[in-house]
Amino acid sequence: MKMKVRRVIDLSHTIMEGMPVYPGDPIPKIVPFSNVKEKVSSLSKITLGSHTGTHIDAPRHAIESGVSVDGVSLEKLMGEAVVLDLSHVEPGEAITFSDLQQHEVKEDDIVLLFTGMGRRWGDEKFLTNYPYLSLDATEWLVKRGTKAVGVDWTSIEKYGGKEHPAHDKLLSHNIPVIESLVNLDVVKGTRIFFICLPLKLKDTDGAPARALAIEFET
């Protein structure tokens, strides 16, 4: 076992009170909690939505009988990832098949989409105004044998629709979706070792997660 870590890049948003959440989602709370018996150590009580901050959508998010987050294979959430630079796509616009096919994506790649939205995280107007994945883009990702898809904004879905075709397409193929990544600008246009570990929440539709790029010593 000679794997040595040279550098870690944290791709996760900080979870805190007052952080942006998708409209209608539970409001995050972190409250000091007293242990009456001990009073000697600090503890907190945390309330979160399953899709708060950087998080994973398990198939069950969109499909009632789909795999829950505790059943998502961890092998799908780590490994070689390619970070596509899609910074030309504006909020409200679709990322299409033709945006993606210009890039080299290999079978079993984790595909991370950088748009620059990660830096606009604190700005409320971008909670409902962000790029989205067109159906032909998701079809292309499925056909390429993509292992997982991650994005640096709130939701892969066009805001305000009553259906969720992008989620349906990916999640019905058991391709987990990672939303609200940050710091992808540091690695855009490169291949990285990526890992995203969600809380192991039983039978749940998704979970907050910690996502990283790791550079190993060669």
CA pair distance 207, 57, nearest whole angstrom: 7
Of the candidate spans 73-81, 89-97, 110-118, 130-138, the one that interacts with its own copies by CB under 8 A turns out to be 73-81
What's the closest the beta carbon of residue 132 comes to its own copies, in angstroms? 15
Task: Give the nearer residue to its own copies in terms of CB position, either 100 or 182.
Answer: 182
Per CB under 8 A, 13 contacts its own copies: yes
CA pair distance 103, 78, nearest whole angstrom: 20
Per CB under 8 A, 70 contacts its own copies: yes
Of the candidate spans 20-28, 84-92, 110-118, 132-140, the one that interacts with its own copies by CB under 8 A turns out to be 20-28
2-22 burial by CB neighbour count: b if 16+ within 10 A, else e?
A: eeeeeeeeebbbebeeebbbb
Per CB under 8 A, 201 contacts its own copies: yes
Q: How many residues bind its own copies (CB under 8 A)?
A: 70
| Footprint of its own copies (CB under 8 A) | 1-5, 8, 10, 12-16, 23-26, 30, 33, 35-38, 40-51, 53-54, 60-62, 64, 70, 74-75, 78-80, 162-164, 167, 191-193, 195, 197-206, 208-210, 212, 214, 216
